[in-house]
Each structure stands twice: as structure tokens, then as C-alpha cells.
Chain A
Amino acid sequence: MRAAPSHCYNPASMPDLLIEAKALTKDFDGFRAVEDVHLGVRAGEIVALLGPNGAGKTTTIRMLASLLAPTRGTARIDGTDVVEDPQTVRSKIGLLTEHHGLYTRMRSEEYLEFFGGAYGMTANAVRSRAGVLLAQFGLDGDRSRRLGEYSKGMRQKLALVRALLHDPPVLLLDEPTSAMDPSSAFQVRESIRDLRRASRAIIVCTHNLKEAEALADRIAIIRAGRIAADGSSASLKSAYLGGRRMEVRIAGTLNGTVGLLPEGAVLEESGVDWLRFRCQDPERTNPLVLESLARAGVRVVTLSEVEGGLEDVYLEVVGRPGAGG
């Protein structure tokens, strides 16, 4: 008899960094796919890995998941070296692959039973855990259908259930909400936030910058195999764009109001009844802007942050399409 695996984990026993990569490098037959990647993800932290296609995101994820051996450098998952003990590393990881890769002739329960078995879970443990996850992702009513009959979104959700089945401390999610309708995508994002609250370390690879900004505590942008930028959304904006972009809309016309901006607010552009400025610290600068405008008798309709700042950072880091050099 095999001992029943424990699917609980104890946050107190966790090392601070659940994912730790140092100088990870990977060469394929003369081509360097990943170079000198340093990355650390703590328990309860979500890191979004952004980058153009072919930048090295998938290769990095595969090295962290002990699927590919690094040419140089080291990586540890929950304290286990990815080269020295790949089996243990893989048992500690839930990987949502870019392509769901389901077995279309199977039903969800037998599919999950197979993967649970591969992780050494007992049939009872799989059944109970699968029941919870299928219900959580709204797939409970589709157990009798073959997976080939599932919609794209349902397949994606089942693939996520597969990645979460063995309750791993580390999650590597490649495009977790692609092919999903907005409500399913919302449901999945909420689940990812729940997992962060449950002290998992999560890396999300995505091309959806809004999702990255909404979910991630930190954003790492990978370009030509190297991590070219790493930090919180705010710190990246500050570093690459010189602060966050704010927009003021007023009732009436500006008429020289632009000159009233206080120190710390740098005017970027303006129109008849609006202006945009950048500032490093909106919490301190914005009240000063409002105060200054009010003193001049300008009636402010809205003061808001301009969306799309991360896109500008991203383009700044990876290069704008058509831009030379």
C-alpha cells in the first residue's frame, strides 16, 4: 500500500523564495534562447512575465519546470534544484501549458484521474480534489461529456484544473485566460488571486498587459532571452516613462492654466479643455495640482490616470514596431 499523499502544505515551512533563478542560460544547437536570467518569486507573489513571441518566456518556464536543463546557471523550486532533482521539482509545480493538450476521447474525471495518478495521488484524493476544482470552475455539469466536445474556454479551464490538481506551491501559467469569454476570464483571475492569498508563488506569462497589471505584484519583461525590466508596474512606469501619466479635464478652456502645475508635475500635452502631466508620486502631487487649479478658479471635472502606461513601458523595453535600432 502506498501512503496517501498530503495535499496540504504549511506556509511556515516555506523558504522565502519559492522560485529562484540565477543566471539561467539556455542554448539550442548554437542558438542562445535565454541568457543570464535572474528571477525570484516569493510565496504569495504573482510575477507577470511579458515579452514578444520567441523572447524566451516558454524556455525560461520550461527550465523552471525541469523540462529543459539549463546550459548555465541554476534554478531552485521551493528549495529543490531543477537539475539535481527534477522529479521533485515537477511534483511541486503546476504548469498550465500554452496549448491545453487534452486527450479528447476522455471525460474530465478519467482525465484528471490519469494525471492525479501520474502525480502519485490516490483515486480518492483525486476524486475529492477534482470535485472541488471542477465545481469552482463551473465544469461540474460537463463530467459526462468527452473533452473533444468542450469549448475552447472549457478546455482551457480544465487544463488549469489539471495544473492545480495536486495542489502545488508553485504555479507557472502560460496565457491562463486566452480563449476565454470575459466572465470566465474574470473567474480565472479571481482564482489566481485566491491562490496568491494561499501563499503560492505564481508566474503568469501573458500578452494581455491589462491582465498583467491587474494581477501581478511584479512585472518582468523579457527581450531576446534576457530580462530587460523587472519591477512593480508603478516602478517600471516611473523608470521608463518618468512617472505616471495623469489627465485633468476641466469645465471651460485652459487659457494658460498649464502654467499653474506645481513642482513634480511635468506637462506632457494639452488640448482646449484638458491637459496631461507626468508625476513620480501621484498621491502627493495630485492634491497639489487640484489645489493649484482650484486657487486659479478652474473647475476640474475629472483627474484620472491615463490607461495604457504599461503598454508604453513594454514598447519602450522591447522596441516599438517599425522603430529602428
Chain B
Amino acid sequence: MTAEVSRRGATGGAWLVARREIQDQSRDWRILAPILLLTLFFPLLMNFTARLAIDFVNRYGAPLIGDRLIPFLLMVVGFFPISISLVIALETFAGERERLSIEPLLVTPLTNLQLYTGKMIASLVAPVLAAYLGIFVYTAGLVLRIGWRPPPVLMGQVLLLTTAQALVMVSGAVVISSLTTSVRAANLLASFIIIPVAQLVILESLIMFWGRYEVLWLIVVGLLVTAVLLLRMGIHLFSREELLGRELDILSLRWIGKTLRKHFVAGARGWADWYGGLFRRSLAPSWPAVLLVGVILLAGFAVGVRLSASWPLPGELFNLAASEEVVRANLDALGFLRPEGWAWVFSNNVRAILLASVLGAFTFGVLGLVLLSVPLVILGYLAGNLAAAGASAATLMAALVLPHALFEIPAAILAGAAIVRWGMVVVSPAGGRSLGEHWLKGMAEWARLTIGLVLPLLALAALIEVFVTPVVALQVLFGG
């Protein structure tokens, strides 16, 4: 006995889901009304505003402002309808879960990917088409009234920006919806999407008024990379196991502690065993991340050198030989060559690593790496300036930085690798674990590398920085 049913192709299944969702949206006046308003009325209003503003600024001899305002409003006209996509996505994913209509859908033979793709398409189609239509209405109005024709590259940039922003908002909304069980909770968490996107729009506005349109390409690329990461995370989260297996939002501190301990200890029977496991289980799979962080830190140094050419410091600043007393006084004031100096340097470095870790854990590692790169950018900047001032940059760097950098830079690279791996855990296969456990495992791996290797290296680096580097530096700079 079998009730033979044929399987739909991947696109067929996704389109079936999308069609139903779009049909449902077309019957909901709460979605239709704002889309129509933002598509037809708002562009005409912006058109009117643009003409008024151009007349005004032309009267006072500032046509540049008008020239910059028109493309800015073009972007705004495209952005407003796509902001609806966030609401639709939250309704499509979290709403369906809250209304308990998700389970009958999950019971069908459609795959997780088909369901996810169908819902993504449904969340994107209406707002993106509305945005395109709004842009068309606005542009057509300006062409007809004042004869302004958009440069094709600018039009392409605005259309791409609009689409990429919609993709980021919808894919972000899916992630949020999958982590919550109600629309209310999803709406609260939506601030994590709305605030960064709003800031991005402000940044885009500044760039457009500045007239550096080429920078918009970088934003498009950044948005697309973010969208890819969020899509991957969404595909991972939008699974039957995650949706039906986690119906409670309760925070169990006991379970969190137990899980962290389990993955941190990783079955070790003592410190020696734990350290052996650390190299085998945590360090060995970290090599790609180690390589990546190494390259990024090196790039940071190169950026610093390049910046020194654009914004050089006055050369007399580097006349160190003339200020031996000042250098010695500063070393003393900072506690160098004394034990309290070690505590200060060590705690400072630990704070920086912890801050980078927290930032990286929620940004796929990106902000963590940015923070870790800052000291290398500064070093590069100093090295560049030293070279420009005619000093022997290599000798000075070797004297002022190298002794402790031999341990501090490997510590930073390992910390960066641990941060990247933790930050990327949400887009990597969970191996049958829930996202919560997978994330905690990532945190435990981060803690293993940080406690087992990074902190000892930083402690050693601080010791050298406080007791060895100053002696070497004084020797090289002032001859003893």
C-alpha cells in the first residue's frame, strides 16, 4: 500500500508557496494600502518636493544642492516601499508560526529550502516591485517636468541598493522570526535590522550629498555579502527541527552552564589531556581562520602605511633622541619596568580581546576583526611616518615593538581566529544540534582557545612589553 504522490521540483514547490503567500497578501488591506500609497502618492510628493527645492536653491545661487538632492530623493523613493518587506517577512514567518498554520505546511513533502525560498520570494516580490514602480513614477515626473535624466550608472546603483537592502531586511527578518515564537517578539527584535539599515541610509545620503557615488558600489557589495550570510543563516534556521523543536523561549541558565562546561571540557581527564585536546580539536580546524586573520592584520598594517602618506605627521615629532628624559618619565608614569605596569598592559589587552569577541560574536566576526586590526593600522601609520621622517623604521619597529609583538601578534591572530569561528558558527552546519547549542559550542571553542592559548601569550607579551621592550628601546634610542 502506498499513496503515491509525485514530488514537486525545487522551483515548483517554492513557487507554489510564494503564490499562496502573495495571494494572501493581496487580500490584506493592511499590506496593500501602504504599498499603493508609497508607490504612487509618495513619489509624486517627492517629485513636487524636488522641484520646489531646486527652484529655491537656484534662487540663491546654490544649484549644486539641487543636483545632489534629486538622486538622494530617488534613493528615498525606492527605500520606503521596501521597508514594508520587513513587515511582510515578519508576518510571513513569525506570523505563520504564531497562528500555528506552519505545522500543516511542514507536514507536506516540500523541503525546508522550498518553503524558505517560497516565503522569501513572497516577502520580496510586492515591496521590490513597488519600489521599482515608485522610482519609475518619480523619474518620469522629473523627466517630464524639468527634463532631468538620471545617469544610467546612478539608476543602476539605486536599483541595486534598493534590491540589496530589501534582501538584507527580509533575510534578517527570517533569522529573527525563526528565533521567536510570536510576531510581538519578532517586532521587538526587528530593531536589530531597522536601526543598522536606518544608519546605512543616513550614510548613503551623506555619500550622495558628498557626490562620491562610486562609494555606493562598496555599500552594494557589503549589503550583498551580508545578505548571503543572512540567507545562509536563514536556510539553516528555517528547518522543521528548529521550528517545531524549539517552541519555548525560556532561558535555562542551568542548561547553558552545563552545555558550555561540556563543550569546554570536551571529555578531558585533566589539564594535560585538555591541552592535548585543545591542539587537536580546537586549533587544528582553526588554520583557515588563522590564515585569514593573519592576512587581515597584515592588510591593516599596509593600510596604516598608506594613510601615513595621505596624512603625514610633522617630522619633528620623531626626533626621539632629543627627548630621552621625556621618554624615561613617560615610561615611569605608565608603570613600565614595574609589576603594576604588567597588570595594566595585560588587563588592557584582555579588555580589547573581550570587546572584539563580543562585537564579533554578533557580526559574523567582522567588527571583532576591525577592532583587532586597529593597532596594526596605527603601527603601519607610525612606521610610514618614521620612514617619511628619515628614521630607520625597521630598526625602530624592531626595538619598540618586536620583542613583545613576537607573542602579542600570534595572540591577536589566535584570538581573531577564535572570534571568526564563533561569529560564523550561525552559518555553519550544526551537526544535529539546535542553534542554541551550536552557538554555545562555538562560544566554548572560543573560550578554549582564549583561555588555553591567547591569555597565556598575552600575559607573556605583557611581561616582555613592560620589562624587556623598554630596555631594548632605550638601548637602541639612547644607547643605554
Which residues of A pack against B, CB within 8 Å?
2-3, 5-7, 9-11, 13-14, 18, 28-31, 43, 62, 65-69, 78, 87-88, 90-93, 95, 97, 99-103, 105-106, 110, 114-115, 117-121, 159, 162, 166-169, 199
CB distance from A24 to the nearest CB of B (A): 15
C-alpha spacing A213/B370, complex, angstroms: 67
Other-chain residue from A14, A62, A110, A119 in contact with B108 (beta carbon distance below 8 A) = A119
C-alpha spacing A306/B17, complex, angstroms: 52
B338 contacts the other chain (Cβ, under 8 Å)? no
Q: Chain A residue with minimal CB distance to B254?
A: A30
B258 contacts the other chain (Cβ, under 8 Å)? yes
Q: Are B2 and A9 in contact (CB under 8 A)?
A: yes
CB distance from A121 to the nearest CB of B (A): 6
Q: Are A168 and B432 in contact (CB under 8 A)?
A: no
Q: In the complex where A29-B255, A30-B255 touch, is A92 in contact with B2 (Cβ < 8 A)?
A: yes
Which residues 99-128 of B sit at the A interface, judged by CB distance below 8 A? 99-111
C-alpha spacing A53/B244, complex, angstroms: 17
Q: Are A114 and B16 in contact (CB under 8 A)?
A: yes
B24 contacts the other chain (Cβ, under 8 Å)? yes
Q: In the complex where A69-B241, A118-B108 touch, is A11 in contact with B1 (Cβ < 8 A)?
A: yes
Other-chain residue from A28, A95, A105, A166 in contact with B5 (beta carbon distance below 8 A) = A166
Q: Are A118 and B110 in contact (CB under 8 A)?
A: yes
The interface stretch among B6-14, B214-222, B343-351, B384-392 is B6-14
Q: Which residues of B contact A29 (CB under 8 A)?
A: 246, 252, 255, 259, 434, 436-437
Q: Chain A residue with minimal CB distance to B21?
A: A103
Q: Are A118 and B103 in contact (CB under 8 A)?
A: no
A115-B108, A166-B5 provided; 20 other pairs, C-beta below 8 A?
A: A3-B6, A7-B4, A7-B5, A9-B1, A11-B1, A18-B1, A30-B252, A30-B255, A67-B106, A68-B240, A68-B245, A87-B109, A90-B109, A91-B3, A91-B5, A97-B104, A105-B24, A115-B104, A119-B109, A121-B5
Q: Which residues of A contact B149 (CB under 8 A)?
A: none
Residues of B within 8 A of A (CB-CB), count: 42
Q: Are A28 and B245 in contact (CB under 8 A)?
A: yes
Q: Are B246 and A28 in contact (CB under 8 A)?
A: yes
CB distance from A181 to the nearest CB of B (A): 22
Q: Are B3 and A118 in contact (CB under 8 A)?
A: no
B4, B99, B240, B432, most chain A CB atoms within 10 A: B4
Q: Which residues of B contact A68 (CB under 8 A)?
A: 240-241, 244-245
Which residues of B pack against A, CB within 8 Å?
1-8, 13, 16-17, 20, 23-24, 27-28, 99-111, 240-241, 244-246, 252, 255, 258-259, 432, 434, 436-437
CB distance from B359 to the nearest CB of A (A): 26
Q: In the complex where A30-B252, A30-B259 touch, is A87 in contact with B1 (Cβ < 8 A)?
A: no
Q: Are B109 and A101 in contact (CB under 8 A)?
A: no
Q: Which residues of A contact B107 (CB under 8 A)?
A: 65, 67, 90, 93, 95, 97
Q: Which residues of A contact B108 (CB under 8 A)?
A: 90, 115, 118-119
Other-chain residue from A31, A65, A95, A169 in contact with B2 (beta carbon distance below 8 A) = A169
Q: Chain B residue with minimal CB distance to A115?
A: B108
Q: In the complex where A29-B434, A67-B106, A91-B109 touch, is A102 in contact with B101 (Cβ < 8 A)?
A: yes
Q: Are A30 and B1 in contact (CB under 8 A)?
A: no
Q: Which residues of A contact B259 (CB under 8 A)?
A: 29-30
Q: Are A43 and B1 in contact (CB under 8 A)?
A: yes
Q: Which residues of A contact B23 (CB under 8 A)?
A: 106, 110
C-alpha spacing A301/B16, complex, angstroms: 65
A18, A30, A88, most chain B CB atoms within 10 A: A30
Q: Chain A residue with minimal CB distance to B102?
A: A101
Q: Are B4 and A5 in contact (CB under 8 A)?
A: yes
C-alpha spacing A169/B13, complex, angstroms: 23
Other-chain residue from B6, B16, B255 in contact with A5 (beta carbon distance below 8 A) = B6
